[in-house]
Structure 1
Amino acid sequence: MLDASSLSAIRLTIELSLATTAILLALGTPLAWWLARSRSPLRVPVRALVTLPLVLPPTVLGFYLLVAMGPAGPLGKLTQALGMGTLAFTFTGLLIGSVIYSLPFVVQPIINAFETLGERPLEAAASLRAGPLDAFWHVALPLARPGYVTGAVLGFAHTLGEFGVVLMIGGNIPGQTRTISVQIFDDVESLEYAQAHWLAGGMLAFSFAVLLVLHLLQARSARTVP
């Protein structure tokens, strides 16, 4: 069975995943809308920046975030000036790193949903005297719901399995920054294979369930499209 350290890591990882997903859905919505609708020359480089974590090694991203949050880094200097200390090796720092690292997994499905939407629903709303904001809330968002579901599920699942970024930024502090992936690594190093099997098996089953649900939702969505 799982010991107290593993249960603590599970609790902290779930809290981190929920917070990361909620922040990304809030911040990612205006960003995805702009990327899907804008004709600005900045659109392409911004989109490349959003998807950068997909190809950037997690340790590279974690290293630069650690430097930025450190005492000599720009973010570290700002937080120290505000009396907050440094964010490295804290849950807040871990949350910032997770938001950046999971950004494309949440934002990209929402962008795709907004791009698939097209102009006709918004033009129809405008013909009924709906303002841009009203059309966005009552037309665009409901029609983009599949993208939000996919983004939320992928963002939550991806944050659960983070290792390189969280280890670089948060280290291995029990109850504060030790996530499931770090706990598995710690168990293997300590030759606690039974505990590692419980956690790794649970992550494997969860990952399979996430992919299965996404495929079922996509198949159902395809059948309902006229």
Structure 2
Amino acid sequence: MFSLGPAEWQAIEVTARLCLYTTIILLILATPLAWWLAQKRSTGRVVVQAIVALPLVLPPTVLGFYLLIVLGPRGVVGQTLENLGLHHLAFTFEGILIASVIYSMPFAVQPLTEAFSHLGRRPVEVASSLGAGMVDRFLTVILPMTRGGFVVAATLTFAHTLGEFGVILMLGGSIPGETKVLSVLIYDHAEAMNYPAAHGLSLMLLVFAFVTLFVVYSINRRFAVAKV
């Protein structure tokens, strides 16, 4: 029977940190971007939408390859960091965190954009006419009325990060305690023909994926009923 060993627990710890940090960063970055996308109706909006959605159709290895070029020792960012006496970002946790944020961007931006679009401008305009500032409008009007979108965005981002493989392997490799996440560990187990371990971890992720989708659809159904 499969049991979690030190390697599995280490991969779980790295994966959990990656998922948590990615979700927090994306909720911060995606909120103003999604609000802008929900309000604008220009050609520039379409261009930004296409860029944000690019990871949905771009092979993960392609994105991982170009990030490796940019963040590696010979890349613009990596070489600049080394010239400053710092380490480049290839094969580091910080590197795969950047990759994860870029790769999971649409899973945060799109639910929030939809939630803001359904909200409309009227509630915010009313709050503004009553003297509410920008922060007050967000905390007392926008956030409560679009909380379902935030929950869906956070859930999908966390779950998608959990299953990332190609972009992580290309940029981070398989360094225990640093870049070896659960998906990479499953690949390593399968490559070593350790099928019981690969099956055990895969089953864990399968169950988590099902629960995540169940939660997302339940939230969408709840808020759809509430609007009716």
What TM-score do the two structures reach when normalised by structure 1? 0.96
Q: Is the Cα contact below 8 Å between 1:170 and 1:177 reproduced in 2?
A: yes
CA distance in 1, matches of 2:194, 2:65: 29
Is 1:197 the counterpart of 2:199 in the alignment? Answer: yes
Equivalent pairs counted in the alignment come to 226
CA distance in 2, matches of 1:39, 1:138: 26
CA distance in 2, matches of 1:48, 1:192: 41
Identity %: 54
Deviations 1:152-177 (A, max 9, x none): 00000000000000000000111111
Shift of 1:96: 0.4
CA distance in 2, matches of 1:216, 1:57: 30
Shift of 1:198: 1.0
Given the alignment, which residue of 110, 114, 122 partners 1:112?
114
CA distance in 1, matches of 2:162, 2:29: 20
Farther-moved stretch of structure 1 (9-18 vs 134-143): 134-143
Farther-moved stretch of structure 1 (104-113 vs 136-145): 136-145
Deviations 1:55-97 (A, max 9, x none): 1000000000000011221111222123221100000001000
Q: Is the Cα contact below 8 Å between 2:73 and 2:90 reproduced in 1?
A: no
Shift of 1:217: 1.3
- Runs of 5+ in structure 1 lacking a partner? none
Aligned counterpart, 1:18:
20
- Runs of 5+ in structure 2 lacking a partner? none
Q: Is the Cα contact below 8 Å between 1:17 and 1:156 reproduced in 2?
A: yes
Aligned counterpart, 2:90:
88
Is 1:208 the counterpart of 2:217 in the alignment? Answer: no
| Displaced runs of 4 or more, over 4 A | none
Aligned counterpart, 2:137:
135
SS in 1 for 2:85: coil
SS in 1 for 2:140: helix
CA distance in 2, matches of 1:79, 1:39: 38
Letter aligned with residue 64 of structure 2? G
Given the alignment, which residue of 62, 65, 68 partners 2:67?
65
Aligned counterpart, 1:144:
146
Aligned counterpart, 1:32:
34
CA distance in 1, matches of 2:133, 2:181: 45
SS in 2 for 1:42: helix
Q: Is the Cα contact below 8 Å between 1:121 and 1:139 reproduced in 2?
A: yes
CA distance in 2, matches of 1:38, 1:78: 36
Given the alignment, which residue of 163, 166, 174 partners 1:164?
166
RMSD over equivalenced CA pairs, Å: 1.3
Shift of 1:39: 4.3
